[in-house]
Structure 1
């Protein structure tokens, strides 16, 4: 994608002029974690790329937008012990998000911000930061939780039920669409049997069932998704499906930027 929307690739006078003229700012974030043997660890790369595509599509629609560098470190959750992963405690991540947003809001250089979040472990910190920013600045900062939104679109857009889950879709297909150079589809493999927590099989990330009722319990990734793969069989992921998901996410992002321009305080 073009560097025309990425703040890091632009000279400061151009950024200042566009912000003064009302450009919105997208704040992408993700993590370094395991997505299994076929996909790269850095899902923040996808968040940054989708944010750039939203900004470019917005520009084509007359809504100028800029993209800040991505926060690459996710909130500490199931992946903290994965070799090569880097995670932050929730309070630290929240503070980083708030300081990032404050850099624009304090100086009055931008009033319209949109977070683009590519990691489930960031949800709590991002939403807490958004609440704090509204109290402090009166700014409403929406958050596009990419994989929550894409997961909800998976079946509608023709996704295979067997590919849905960690180590599979929606991340797998989106990565194949956006960064095929980083994918090793030949290494994809079906889910392996998971272990037990308190003698109970995991029913999801951080949950088990007892007597038909779900309980939250602390877990590590290997207890629920051995090797980083929870999807039944991610080998059906495809770039074509990923492109359909990205198109919907980009359209939604542009619609939110339009709502911010028309209604943000």
Structure 2
């Protein structure tokens, strides 16, 4: 009989020995602590963990014993180091942390792992460490970058035109997902619209870590505060809603649970 506990941290050591067996799927949620807009909590890892919990519940309903590891709250350092109060860890530190987590799980035969990621700065370390372990012992670890997936889903949920109005850093998906899961900690009265005509080093800002020259987008060491002084870029959070958040998380959970059922739980057998 399966335990009601989903978080590995809540299992007793005897329950861990009993339930964390070769059939168990382990989700690794992770995110960041950075500026998500003047109205939104800095910890987008809160949303990543909420989605991971719902994916685990849905996967269990499909008959797959699924558990989640403690969330990694600090993202891999990128251009958001300018966020007041933000905490990030170096790419090397994050890679080492993930490598140690994979090693700890693999030691006990827990190789059915899915990363639930909520931060762009985590993508490089996830890819590097996953490739290392595939080459090392054949363990195949995929990752759901929630917000990248969400940008495409929003086009279907809202329509391309409406999605374009809300999608962006500080807007959708995180604001709507936050309004769905924890509306009490958002401050909609502090919302700011995305900026227009931002300049840095005498050049037009073209997004995070990017500038524009002669119609071309160039990568440059532009910090987030120069691109988006209020944490918002692209979409306007005024267009976000709890209804959109629920529709979006429903789709993310369906994708995650289906992927676990069809592939992760089977060890990606051909």
- Asked if Structure 1 and Structure 2 have the same fold, meaning a TM-score greater than 0.5 normalized by the shorter chain, the answer is yes
2:86, 2:73 → 1: CA distance? 10
2:126 corresponds to 1:122: no
Q: In structure 1, the residue corresponding to 2:57 is in which secondary structure?
A: helix
Alignment-derived partner of residue 171 in structure 2: 168
Q: Is the 8 A contact 2:29 2:71 kept in 1?
A: yes
Alignment-derived partner of residue 140 in structure 1: 140
Q: In structure 2, the residue corresponding to 1:16 is in which secondary structure?
A: helix
Q: In structure 2, the residue corresponding to 1:181 is in which secondary structure?
A: helix
User: Residues 83 and 188 of structure 1: is their aligned pair in 2 closer, same or farther, counting only changes over 3 Å?
Assistant: same
Q: Is the 8 A contact 1:194 1:224 kept in 2?
A: no
Q: Is the 8 A contact 2:170 2:235 kept in 1?
A: no
Alignment-derived partner of residue 61 in structure 2: 60
Q: Is the 8 A contact 1:93 1:125 kept in 2?
A: yes
Deviations 1:97-148 (A, max 9, x none): 111121101222x120000000111111111111112122211100000100
* Per-residue deviation, 1:162: 1.6
Q: In structure 2, the residue corresponding to 1:154 is in which secondary structure?
A: helix
Alignment-derived partner of residue 191 in structure 2: 188
2:218, 2:86 → 1: CA distance? 27
216, 235, 238: which one aligns with 1:213: 216
* Per-residue deviation, 1:211: 2.1
Query: How many residues are treated as equivalent by the alignment?
Result: 263
Runs of 5+ consecutive residues of structure 1 not aligned to the other structure: none
Alignment-derived partner of residue 265 in structure 2: 261
2:222 corresponds to 1:225: no
User: Residues 217 and 242 of structure 1: is their aligned pair in 2 closer, same or farther, counting only changes over 3 Å?
Assistant: same
* Per-residue deviation, 1:263: 4.3
Q: How is 1:46-125 mapped onto 2 (pairs within 5 angstroms)?
A: 46-108=47-109, 110-125=110-125
Q: Is the 8 A contact 2:26 2:69 kept in 1?
A: yes
1:209, 1:3 → 2: CA distance? 53
Q: Is the 8 A contact 1:139 1:264 kept in 2?
A: no
Q: Is the 8 A contact 1:193 1:226 kept in 2?
A: no
TM-score, length basis structure 2: 0.92
Alignment-derived partner of residue 31 in structure 2: 30
* Per-residue deviation, 1:160: 3.8
Q: Is the 8 A contact 2:27 2:113 kept in 1?
A: yes
Q: Is the 8 A contact 1:73 1:88 kept in 2?
A: yes
2:24 corresponds to 1:20: no
Runs of 5+ consecutive residues of structure 2 not aligned to the other structure: none
2:9, 2:200 → 1: CA distance? 45
Alignment-derived partner of residue 45 in structure 1: 46
User: Residues 251 and 229 of structure 1: is their aligned pair in 2 closer, same or farther, counting only changes over 3 Å?
Assistant: same
2:239 corresponds to 1:236: yes
Once the two structures are overlaid, the 10-residue window that deviates more, 221-230 or 205-214, is 205-214
* Per-residue deviation, 1:202: 1.5
